[in-house]
Structure 1
Amino acid sequence: MSRWLTEPVPRGRVAAFRTLIYLFVAADLVIFTPWVRTRASVPGELYQPLLIGRMLPLPTPTPTLVAVIFWSLLLLALLAATGRAPRLLGWAVCALYLEWMIIAMSYGKVDHDRIGLLVALAVLPTAGRARHGDATRTEAGGWALRVTQIAVICTYFLAAWAKLRFGGLDWLTGSVLARAIIRRGTDFADLIAQVPYLLIVAQFGIVAFELLSPVVFLLPARWRLAMVGFFYSFHVVTIATITISFAPHLAAMTSFLPLEKVRPLLWARRLTGRQGPDPAEVDAEPVEASLTAPAPLVDQAPVVGRPAGP
């Protein structure tokens, strides 16, 4: 079990995942959750903190507190995306984003699509330093990615468990998707809704795929990527029909992908004609040279006492 949890991965994958997650945190503040800043103007008596907010305890949000968290988190997330000071900046971003989410979810609505992202922020500081393009494998980085993957799959499995626990079998045969389409459906969703019993079949399919999601850990690497691709396609359909993105969950799910192969800066240098040496190739060059270079000729000293001529 411990070998599976700490399966080594390339440091370049950890570096790419770290950059992506921290850039998403910055984007989340200004694109997906800027509405959290409006909580500062809500009367304090409406603030009902989550259990963790009551245990710590955390202060009631004020305009000053929310503004400090917003600007500090935005700056630190951008700095952390560079990979510098991974532990110091990583723990700071984790703490600030957790408080940001506690403020967001303490007014009656809790989103379950942020579990994987919060776990990723909690474990990335433990992965240590990692450089883009570095093929050296790391167990610490492997553990960070694996724990994030487990959180992502738990999001699916526990969502199905909640559906059956609170909705029972009526969730499968009821009008859940129909109500969602009425509330926030698209033209594409309206076309689907016209097909008899298709929404009921879709509800059975959703619960089945969520309950079977842990199977992804039992598949070979190639089929695992195919199943993750299916997960992403499911969310594409969700966005196209009821306009729910699950963006934080999608960001955390990149922990399954070989992100070390994604090198946007290197590709940009190639397109502009200013290609520099790839760090991974430079590191490997001396080893390759030693394996492929011809062996040097060694002068043989004449044997004493042996005639030189025939």
Structure 2
Amino acid sequence: MSTRAASWWFGPVPARRIDVCRALTFGYAAIWLTVRAWYVWDVSGLPSRRFAPVGVMTWLDAPPSRPVVMGAWAIGLACSVLAALGRGLRITAPLGSLTVLGIVTLTSSFGQVFHTEHLLALHLLILAAASIIEPARNATERSGWPLNLMMATLAATYVVAGIAKLRFSGTDWVTGDVLRNWVAADNLRKVLLDDPSSTFGGWLAGVGWVWGPIAVFTLLVELGAPLAMVSRRIRTPWLVAAWLFHVGIFAMMAISFPYQLSGVAYLAFVPAERLEARVRQAVAGGGPRRARMEVTERP
């Protein structure tokens, strides 16, 4: 790694930026675990013959029992809450991240692999590693590598998705009806199976001219993700486009990416400490102008 690249990767950022990112990401994990509790309970009771282990579960011949799974769930929830509050980070952050990884991998071992849930697990692992390697002290600045690694991890998921589209369909993704047929077939399948579908997506499939621009927009978002890491001029437009990209997927296919739609997935890209200050001042009645005055300008 060149000196310039190392200076950027490990360069200092406000310590509060990492703290806010950790608090909101682990807070999201706690909410996610709570919302998914009944699903985890149901999956943990499925017959062993349906267990097709993936990821960290591949070393198991049979799924763990329900008491073990729900015990891990309880530990993950408690540790996520404590890590979000900044309590015992060198213990709670690693335990919380590992249990979330185990739970998302277990549920994926019984059916569809939910890649967005694994993105959350990876972000938690990065923040947990940062809590061990560079524990929070009274310093006002810390190395920014955890945030850069979180950005790189998220960007990689978009790039892989974009490359997969081009490998699957080539230029037909842009010039043909691949995306249009995909959306139409997905909604038809859901209607036939009485699953939640998108009436809007079904209607839009009949409007031929819109799909070329949508396909181009999709590739620009996915393949352009790395540029948002290195260019502040591109970062904000890309973040808006990426969020709208997931809104569009939900509108056209009734497929939700809650981690991205919540905005928490993108926290590493923004000066989160400024957002915190604005929220605090808004709650206190000071307004955003006063909040801006109290936050030191950082890159």
Does TM-score exceed 0.5, indicating one fold? Answer: yes
Query: Which residue is 1:234 aligned to?
Result: 245
SS in 2 for 1:36: helix
Q: Distance in 1 between matches of 2:139 and 2:237?
A: 23
Q: Structure 2 residue aligned with 1:261, among 274, 277, 280? A: 274
SS in 2 for 1:9: strand
Check 1:171–1:223 CA distance in 2 against 1; reply closer, same or farther (3 A cut).
closer
1:254 is displaced (CA, Å) by 1.6
151-160 vs 31-40, greater mean Cα deviation: 31-40
1:44 is displaced (CA, Å) by 1.0
1:106 is displaced (CA, Å) by 0.5
Check 1:166–1:107 CA distance in 2 against 1; reply closer, same or farther (3 A cut).
farther
1:202 equivalent in alignment to 2:214: yes
- Contact 1:14/1:130, CA 8 A, preserved across alignment: no
- Contact 2:221/2:238, CA 8 A, preserved across alignment: no
Deviation digits for residues 154-206 of structure 1 (CA, Å, limit 9, x no counterpart):
01000112223345555553211222343354343344333223234423431
Check 1:269–1:202 CA distance in 2 against 1; reply closer, same or farther (3 A cut).
closer
Between the two proteins, the alignment pairs up a number of residues equal to: 271
1:61 equivalent in alignment to 2:67: no
Q: Distance in 1 between matches of 2:241 and 2:294?
A: 33
1:11 equivalent in alignment to 2:25: no
Q: Compare relative contact order (CA 8 Å, sep 6+) and give the higher one, 1 or 2.
A: 1
Deviation digits for residues 104-144 of structure 1 (CA, Å, limit 9, x no counterpart):
1112311222343222111212144458xx992211xx111
Query: Which residue is 2:236 aligned to?
Result: 225
207-216 vs 4-13, greater mean Cα deviation: 207-216
Q: Structure 1 residue aligned with 2:186, among 180, 189, 201? A: 180
Query: Which residue is 2:193 aligned to?
Result: none
Q: Distance in 1 between matches of 2:210 and 2:271?
A: 35
TM-score computed with the length of structure 1 as normaliser: 0.77
Check 1:187–1:60 CA distance in 2 against 1; reply closer, same or farther (3 A cut).
closer
Q: Distance in 2 between matches of 1:203 and 1:34?
A: 37
Residue type of the partner of 1:108?
Answer: G
Query: Which residue is 2:284 aligned to?
Result: 270
Check 1:40–1:114 CA distance in 2 against 1; reply closer, same or farther (3 A cut).
closer
Query: Which residue is 2:256 aligned to?
Result: 245
Deviation digits for residues 224-248 of structure 1 (CA, Å, limit 9, x no counterpart):
1222122112222222232222123
Pairing 1:1-310 to 2, within 5 Å after superposition: 1-31=5-35, 34-55=38-59, 57=60, 60-125=63-128, 126-127=130-131, 128-130=134-136, 136-139=140-143, 142-169=144-171, 171-172=173-174, 173=176, 174=178, 175-182=181-188, 183=190, 184-219=196-231, 221-249=232-260, 250-263=263-276, 266-267=280-281, 270-271=284-285
Gaps spanning 5+ residues in structure 2: where? 191-195
Check 1:102–1:233 CA distance in 2 against 1; reply closer, same or farther (3 A cut).
same
- Contact 2:184/2:205, CA 8 A, preserved across alignment: yes
C-alpha RMSD of the superposition: 2.9
Gaps spanning 5+ residues in structure 1: where? 285-310
1:67 is displaced (CA, Å) by 1.3
TM-score computed with the length of structure 2 as normaliser: 0.79
Which structure has more helix as a fraction of its residues?
2
SS in 2 for 1:197: helix
- Contact 2:184/2:202, CA 8 A, preserved across alignment: no
Q: Percent identity?
A: 26
Query: Which residue is 1:299 aligned to?
Result: none
1:84 is displaced (CA, Å) by 1.8
